Structure 1
Amino acid sequence: MDKTAIKKFAVEARRSLIESIRLKAATLGITADGIQAKLPISTGDVEYYVDEQGGISGHDIVKRQKLVAELKQRARKNDLATAFNDLIEEVAYTWFNRIIAIRFMEVNDYLPSRVRVLSSTENRNIPDILVNVRDVEEALGGFTASEKAIITRAEDTELPKDRDAEYQMLFIKQANALNKNLPYLFETTNDYAELLFTPSYHDGVIQHLITDISEDDFNVAVGGQVEIIGWLYQYYNTEPKNTVISMPKSHKFRDTEIASATQIFTPDWIVKYMVQNSLGKYWIKHLLAVGSLQNESEIAREFNWQYYMPDAKQPDNVQSKIETMDSSLKELEIKQLKMIDPSMGSGHILIYAFDVLMQIYESEGYSRREASESIIKHNLNGLDIDTRAFQLSYFAVMMKARQYNRRALTKITHMNVYDIPGTDDFKLEDFEILLSQLSENSSRLLRHFLQEFTFGNELGSLILEYSSSLTSLREELDALNHNQLSFELIPLLDKVADILNSVELLGQKYQVVITNPPYMGSSRMESHLLKFAKKNYPNSKADLFAMFIERWNKALVSGGYNAMVTMQSWMFLSSFEKMRVNLLGNYTISNLMHMENNVMGIAFGTAVTIVRDYQLPSFIGTYHQIKTADVSGKIPQHLPIADNRFNRTNQANFAKIPG
Structure 2
Amino acid sequence: MAFDQTTRNRLQRFVGDARALLADEFTRQLQATYGMNPTTGDVADIKTLSGLTPHQQETAQLLRDTFTHYLASNESGKDKERKLAALDRIVREQAFTVLNRIAALRMSEARGSLTESLANGYESKGFQLFHRIAGTSLGETGDAYRHYLFSIFDEFTLDLSVLFDRFSAQGRLFPSSPVLLELLALVNDEEVAPLWNEDETIGWIYQYFNSVAERKKMRDASQAPRNSRELAVRNQFFTPRYVVEFLTDNTLGRIWYEMTQGQTGLVDSCEYLVRRPNEVFLSKGETAPEQIEQEGLSQEELLQQTVYIEHRALKDPRDIKMLDPACGSMHFGLYCFDLFEKIYTEAWDLESSQGKDAFVREGNKAALTEAFQDKAEFLTHVPRLIIENNIHGVDIDPRAAQVAGLSLWQRAHNSWQQADIKPQFRPKILKSNIVCAEPMPGEKELLQEFTSQLKPTVLGQLVEVIFEKMELAGEAGTLLKIEKEIADAIAGAKAVWQQQNQALSQFPDLAKVAKQRGEIEFDVSDIDDEGFWLQAEQKILHALTEYASSASAQKQLFAADAAKGFAFIELCRNRFDVVLMNPPFGEFSKNWKTQSKKEYPNSYNDILAAFVDRGIDLQHRKGRLGAITSRTCFYLTSFKKWRENVALGAAKPELMADLGNGVMDAAMVEAAAYVLEKQ
- Give distance in 1, aligned partners of 2:576 and 2:46: 58
What amino acid does structure 2 have at the position aligned with 1:61?
Answer: Q
**Among residues 52, 56, 59, which one is paired with 2:55 in the alignment?**
59
**CA separation of 1:371/1:318 partners in 2, compared to 1, >3 Å: closer, same or farther?**
farther
Measured after TM superposition, the shift of residue 95 of structure 1 is: 0.9
2:581 touches 2:626 (CA, 8 Å); kept in 1?
A: yes
Which residue of structure 2 lines up, in the alignment, with residue 255 of structure 1? Answer: 228
Which residue of structure 2 lines up, in the alignment, with residue 85 of structure 1? Answer: 88
1:592 touches 1:610 (CA, 8 Å); kept in 2?
A: yes
- Give distance in 1, aligned partners of 2:670 and 2:46: 59
CA deviations over 1:246-282 (Å, ceiling 9, x no partner): 4234564311111111011000000000100000001
- Give distance in 1, aligned partners of 2:86 and 2:398: 16
Measured after TM superposition, the shift of residue 82 of structure 1 is: 1.2
**Among residues 318, 338, 341, which one is paired with 1:358 in the alignment?**
341
**CA separation of 1:330/1:198 partners in 2, compared to 1, >3 Å: closer, same or farther?**
same
Which residue of structure 1 lines up, in the alignment, with residue 525 of structure 2? Answer: none
- If asked which structure has higher relative contact order (CA below 8 Å, sep 6+), I would say 2
- Give distance in 2, aligned partners of 1:457 and 1:514: 20
- Give distance in 2, aligned partners of 1:63 and 1:337: 43
What amino acid does structure 2 have at the position aligned with 1:63?
Answer: T
Which residue of structure 2 lines up, in the alignment, with residue 175 of structure 1? Answer: 153
Which residue of structure 1 lines up, in the alignment, with residue 15 of structure 2? Answer: 10
- Give distance in 1, aligned partners of 2:45 and 2:457: 46
1:557 touches 1:613 (CA, 8 Å); kept in 2?
A: yes
- Give distance in 2, aligned partners of 1:127 and 1:284: 47
Q: Which moved more, 1:351-360 or 1:308-317?
A: 308-317
What SS does the corresponding residue of 2:313 show, helix, strand or coil? helix
- Give distance in 1, aligned partners of 2:291 and 2:31: 69
What amino acid does structure 2 have at the position aligned with 1:247?
Answer: D
Which residue of structure 1 lines up, in the alignment, with residue 28 of structure 2? Answer: 23
Measured after TM superposition, the shift of residue 532 of structure 1 is: 1.8
- Give distance in 2, aligned partners of 1:18 and 1:495: 25
Measured after TM superposition, the shift of residue 25 of structure 1 is: 1.2
**Among residues 561, 565, 568, which one is paired with 1:495 in the alignment?**
561
- Give distance in 2, aligned partners of 1:474 and 1:409: 31
What amino acid does structure 2 have at the position aligned with 1:379?
Answer: N
What amino acid does structure 2 have at the position aligned with 1:186?
Answer: F
Does residue 37 in structure 1 map to residue 44 in structure 2?
A: yes
What amino acid does structure 1 have at the position aligned with 2:612?
Answer: I
- Give distance in 1, aligned partners of 2:320 and 2:16: 39
Which residue of structure 1 lines up, in the alignment, with residue 319 of structure 2? Answer: 336
Unpaired segments of 5 or more residues in structure 2? 2-6, 76-81, 280-287, 293-305, 350-374, 485-528
What amino acid does structure 2 have at the position aligned with 1:72?
Answer: T
2:278 touches 2:307 (CA, 8 Å); kept in 1?
A: no
1:5 touches 1:212 (CA, 8 Å); kept in 2?
A: no
What amino acid does structure 1 have at the position aligned with 2:572?
Answer: L
- Give distance in 2, aligned partners of 1:38 and 1:245: 33
**Among residues 433, 454, 458, which one is paired with 2:471 in the alignment?**
454
What amino acid does structure 2 have at the position aligned with 1:475?
Answer: Q
Does residue 398 in structure 1 map to residue 409 in structure 2?
A: yes
What SS does the corresponding residue of 1:31 show, helix, strand or coil? coil
Which residue of structure 2 lines up, in the alignment, with residue 277 of structure 1? Answer: 250
CA deviations over 1:580-604 (Å, ceiling 9, x no partner): 1102123110111111111333332
Measured after TM superposition, the shift of residue 26 of structure 1 is: 1.4
Measured after TM superposition, the shift of residue 565 of structure 1 is: 0.7
2:662 touches 2:669 (CA, 8 Å); kept in 1?
A: yes
Which residue of structure 1 lines up, in the alignment, with residue 652 of structure 2? Answer: 588
What SS does the corresponding residue of 1:181 show, helix, strand or coil? coil
What SS does the corresponding residue of 1:285 show, helix, strand or coil? helix
Q: Which moved more, 1:88-97 or 1:261-270?
A: 88-97
- Give distance in 2, aligned partners of 1:477 and 1:323: 51
Does residue 231 in structure 1 map to residue 247 in structure 2?
A: no
Which residue of structure 2 lines up, in the alignment, with residue 640 of structure 1? Answer: none
**CA separation of 1:126/1:441 partners in 2, compared to 1, >3 Å: closer, same or farther?**
same
Which residue of structure 2 lines up, in the alignment, with residue 474 of structure 1? Answer: 537
- Give distance in 2, aligned partners of 1:61 and 1:233: 31
- Give distance in 2, aligned partners of 1:573 and 1:234: 29
**Normalised by the size of structure 1, how large is the TM-score?**
0.78
What SS does the corresponding residue of 1:116 show, helix, strand or coil? coil
Which residue of structure 2 lines up, in the alignment, with residue 622 of structure 1? Answer: none
1:509 touches 1:555 (CA, 8 Å); kept in 2?
A: yes
- Give distance in 1, aligned partners of 2:566 and 2:608: 25
Does residue 369 in structure 1 map to residue 346 in structure 2?
A: no
- Give distance in 2, aligned partners of 1:312 and 1:586: 28
Identity %: 20
Measured after TM superposition, the shift of residue 613 of structure 1 is: 1.0
Does residue 561 in structure 1 map to residue 534 in structure 2?
A: no
CA deviations over 1:280-331 (Å, ceiling 9, x no partner): 001111112xxx64xxxx74443x2111111476895379xx999943x234
What amino acid does structure 2 have at the position aligned with 1:16?
Answer: L
Measured after TM superposition, the shift of residue 73 of structure 1 is: 2.7
Which residue of structure 2 lines up, in the alignment, with residue 75 of structure 1? Answer: 71
**CA separation of 1:133/1:459 partners in 2, compared to 1, >3 Å: closer, same or farther?**
same
Unpaired segments of 5 or more residues in structure 1? 49-54, 138-142, 154-161, 220-224, 615-659
What amino acid does structure 2 have at the position aligned with 1:307?
Answer: Y
Measured after TM superposition, the shift of residue 507 of structure 1 is: 1.4
**CA separation of 1:565/1:24 partners in 2, compared to 1, >3 Å: closer, same or farther?**
same
Q: How many residues align structurally? A: 559
Which residue of structure 2 lines up, in the alignment, with residue 530 of structure 1? Answer: 593
Which residue of structure 1 lines up, in the alignment, with residue 176 of structure 2? Answer: 198
**CA separation of 1:272/1:432 partners in 2, compared to 1, >3 Å: closer, same or farther?**
same
Does residue 133 in structure 1 map to residue 133 in structure 2?
A: no
- Give distance in 2, aligned partners of 1:483 and 1:465: 25
Q: Which moved more, 1:210-219 or 1:382-391?
A: 210-219
What amino acid does structure 2 have at the position aligned with 1:509?
Answer: R
- Give distance in 1, aligned partners of 2:29 and 2:213: 22
**CA separation of 1:386/1:442 partners in 2, compared to 1, >3 Å: closer, same or farther?**
same
State the Cα RMSD in Å: 2.9
**CA separation of 1:370/1:59 partners in 2, compared to 1, >3 Å: closer, same or farther?**
closer
Which residue of structure 2 lines up, in the alignment, with residue 287 of structure 1? Answer: 260
2:380 touches 2:426 (CA, 8 Å); kept in 1?
A: no
Does residue 385 in structure 1 map to residue 396 in structure 2?
A: yes
